[in-house]
Amino acid sequence: MMHMPTLKQLKYFCAVVESKHFGRAAKSCYVSQSTLSSGVAELEEKLEVTLLERDNKGIRLTAIGREIHQRSMDILNSTGDLVSIASAAKEPFSTELRLGVIPTIAPFILPTMLSHIRNKHPSFKIYVKEYLSRHLIDNLHSGDLDLLLLALPFPADHVTTQHLFYDEFVLTCLPNYKLLKQKKLKVSDIKSEELLLLEDGHCIRDHALDACKMKADGLYSPYQATSLNTIIQMVANDMGVTILPKMAVDAKILRGTELSTKQFDEPHVWRSIGLMWRNKSPRQAEFRAMGQLILESL
pLDDT tens figures, 236-249: 999 999 999 999 99
Per-residue pLDDT of 40-83, as tens digits, reads: 999 998 998 999 988 777 788 999 989 999 889 888 888 877 77
CATH superfamily of 95-163+279-297: Periplasmic binding protein-like II (3.40.190.10)
Q: Which of 11-15, 145-149, 210-214 has the lowest mean pLDDT?
A: 210-214
- Would strands 52-55 and 58-61 be described as parallel, antiparallel, or unpaired? antiparallel
Place domain 165-271 in its CATH homologous superfamily: Periplasmic binding protein-like II (3.40.190.10)
Residue that wins the pLDDT comparison between 145 and 95 = 145
Distances (CA, A) of 32 to 8, 45, 52: 14, 20, 19
The amino acid present at 119, given as its one-letter code, is: N
| Cα–chain center distance at 260 | 29
Return the closest-CA partner of residue 70 out of 125, 124, 143. 143
- For residue 175, what pLDDT band results from cuts at 50, 70 and 90? very high
- In angstroms, how far apart are the furthest CA atoms of the chain? 80
Q: What is the value of pTM for the model shown?
A: 0.73
pLDDT at 13 exceeding the cut of 80? yes
- State the average pLDDT over residues 10-35: 90
Q: By CB neighbour count within 10 A (0-12 exposed, 13-18 middle, 19+ buried), where does 49 fall?
A: middle
- Report, at the CATH architecture level, how domain 7-83 is classified: Orthogonal Bundle (1.10)
Helices (H) and strands (E) in the chain, counts: 10, 11
The number of residues in the chain equals: 298
Beta strand pairing call for 224-225 and 97-101? unpaired
Q: Is the pLDDT of residue 99 over 80?
A: yes
Distance, CA of 114 to CA of 194 (rounded, Å)? 37
**Secondary structure (3-state) at 213:** coil
Most confident of 94-98, 123-127, 188-192: 123-127
Q: Taking all residues of the chain, what is their mean pLDDT, rounded to a whole number?
A: 89
Q: Do domains 7-83 and 165-271 have the same CATH topology?
A: no
| Candidate from 10-19, 73-82, 127-136, 243-252 with smallest mean pLDDT | 73-82
pLDDT reading at 297 higher than 70: yes
Q: For the chain, which residues make up each domain, given as ranges?
A: 7-83, 95-163+279-297, 165-271
* Cα 274 to Cα 285: distance, rounded to the nearest angstrom: 15
| pLDDT top residue among 216 and 38 | 38
